[in-house]
Amino acid sequence: MICSGTNALTGQVIEVSFSCTISNVHEIPASAADPVYLAPGLIDIQINGFFGIDFNDPNAAQTDLQLALNAIFETGVTRCLPTVITGGPEDMVACLANLYRAQRELDNGQGIAGFHVEGPFIGPEDGPRGAHPLRWVRPPSLDEYRRWQDVTGRQIRVVTLSPHWPEAPEWISAVAQDGVTVSIGHTGATADQIKAAVDAGATLSTHLGNGAHQQMRRHPNYIWDQMAEDRLSASFIADGIHLGKAFLQTALRAKTPARAILVTDASAPAGAAPGRYRLGEQDADLTTDGRVVLAGTDKLAGSALKMNDGVAKMMSLGGLTLPEAVASATLNPARLINLEGHKNGIEEGETGDLVAFTLRDGQVQVEAVYLAGKRLR
């Protein structure tokens, strides 16, 4: 396979030869290039569902999961971490086992790069708990974590928890030593608890600015504590709904573009029509203005964001340059979760995952998607 365009990360006009891996990259005259940008395939490390399909349904049909995965590819994503949220222990294990089967059996299932478990070891308070069901919130358990690893071929890549639990530092240390990214999220933890978590090996803040109290002290508070901690990267839901423009810009300046991760936190309604859908054991509504809320409430329950739109929002709302915005959806998440073959951009020897796109009226419009050298769009 050969394609050409402007490297969105470097600005160079390039021609790329690739199959499963990239075999050659060389500069070409600008006039010889297709009028498109080229980037590594986008990577979404937090996605709860898509195209009407809930990844938190342990009985989700493989045919439905195929539809969801195909729709995700259409947004420029080539690798993702299906995300299982707080639920009953057996249901969470069953969801993970079902998603692992999808990874192994679906067409292009290799696009599932592992799994993110968000909860159940989170804060029980209203606000920090977000849309997670209170009855299933529980303290960290290494035995439960090991069950997750057992049913996924040891492919848990990210776990989000609140460090307020007394067991948290010891748990974080053990899990981080497994090479898993431990992320702080859905928390009302103190500064000391956050520091202890980072000292133990936590390296990420999950959707910083969300999963928080509606009102809190000006300072100190757990948002400032995480923004000020240089050892933490942070993920952001850049949909214009979850975060205000001023907060997103301020948080990006605090974390720096190199430690910013774009995520969708998409749930089942993403990519589907407005209406009612399931999120685990709860109903969620996609409103006509693009908000996903728990049915009958105004409480956000994931998003309807697509990654290509998120890249555009990181520029228009976050103030990032195109290379910075693309890096937040490619290099930065790959390096955070140690995803080999994806950490160096469009270079020889890297995996042949590419997305070609154009910029029109501030929108990122996907033109072609390649997964390990295979064209999907």
Contact 353, 345 (CB under 8 A): no
Considering the candidates 91, 265, 309, 353, report the single residue annotated as catalytic. Answer: 265
Angle, helices 168-177/191-200, rounded to nearest 10 degrees: 30
CA distance 325 to 114: 23
User: At 156, phi and psi to the nearest 5?
Assistant: -70, 120
CA distance 303 to 238: 10
DSSP H or E segment with residue 84: strand 77-85
Contact 232, 202 (CB under 8 A): yes
Residues paired with 235 in a beta bridge: 261
Residues paired with 67 in a beta bridge: none
CA distance 340 to 345: 11
- Token duo for residue 273: 């029509």
- DSSP character at residue 341: T
**Got the DSSP string for 159-211?**
EEE-TTSTTHHHHHHHHHHTTPEEEE-S----HHHHHHHHHHT--EETTTT-S
Distance, C-alpha 207 to centroid of its chain: 9
CA distance 164 to 122: 8
**265 assigned to active site:** yes
Other CB atoms within 10 Å distance of the CB of residue 178 = 13
Distance, C-alpha 91 to centroid of its chain: 22
Total count of residues recorded for the chain: 377
User: Which residue, 161, 169, 158, is CA-closest to 188?
Assistant: 161
**Got the DSSP string for 309-352?**
HHHHHHHHTT---HHHHHHHTTHHHHHHTT-TTSSSSS-TTSB-
Half-sphere exposure of 290 (CA within 13 A, CB side): 12
Question: Active-site residue numbers?
Answer: 265
